[in-house]
Structure 1
Amino acid sequence: MNKFIRFILIASFSILSPLTQAQTAQAQIGPSDFAGPYVGFKVGTNTSNASGAISKASHTTVFPGITAGYNFDIGRFVVGAEAFADFHHGSTTFKDGGIDAKLGMPLIQFMPYARLGFTSSWPDNRLHGGLGVEYKLARQISAALEWTADSSHHDGTKRVNNSVTIGLQYHFN
């Protein structure tokens, strides 16, 4: 595990741990608090590889990103769609943008989730997926820790992206 990913994980847990204790003093947050429209900003690390006919390259890049989405409260689950843009210019696929379907299961202020969709940028469109956990800091603010991946086979070259991000989201509920 590279040092940046380790730093993000340790920083996330050290920030979220005291907030978990403070959360008990606030009103309980439920599944419907994850529903509705939201926007967010994230920062992370992207590890990408390219191999094949064109070139062989491996890059690790720190990058910013933005998100916007809408979630629906469906009983015990949250189902939604999220548009994203990742600006990892140093990777083998440069910057990416796309839309994913999102399925989560809220557990009080935590919501583990999976995502699956498509990303598009140079060199082509490709399947995009990932896993994450969102934590409600307050009724309208949440933090998300996420891993996503995609791969491409274009012009005889295979490209693979893996990203780990941490972000903040503002919910309009």
Structure 2
Amino acid sequence: MSNKRFTLAITGATGSAFGVAVLRRLAENPGVEQVSLLLTPTGRRCLEDETELTQEDLLAISPKVRHLYENDLGADISSGSHRQDGMVVLPCSAGTLGRIASGTSENLVARAADVCLKERLPLVLCVRETPLNRIHLENLLRVNDSGALVMPLMPSFYHRPETLEDLYEAFATRVLDRLGLAEEDGRRWKG
């Protein structure tokens, strides 16, 4: 379980604080060697509007975090020969979902997701859109049928969160589970 490499994309939908929680947890995990961070232009704006964090703040979380530019289609994660262990898009905008569902690799987020699908690596899409129209629903089915895990940004409340941070962290636990990085968390359902 050591030396894992993951990609995290924060795209232009509300809920970027959930992505930050996943980034922190990936960076803190001793089994993770590297996290490639992708911020779309609207993802960067949502991040700053919602959390007052900047790209530089995210890079300062850990030396394990490296930033890749959305338009760099020559980046290592755009190739199936690059060793990688999975990708999370959180939040995943409806536009990003559509690009992934259609297989267009016009930016590094869509291309890295496409690589995960073709290489059968975990791809977790935390879609944040409401209400959903038929196009969104069809795109969700397309990515699901192609091997992605659709995990809508729907936090749980059974653990009785007292802060927004509790919501972010409980959701991050579920995302890390999907990547094979199960951690102890007192917020898990106990029955």
Q: TM-score, normalised by structure 2?
A: 0.21
Bigger radius of gyration among the two: 1
**Between structures 1 and 2, the one with greater strand share:** 1
**Between structures 1 and 2, the one with greater helix share:** 2
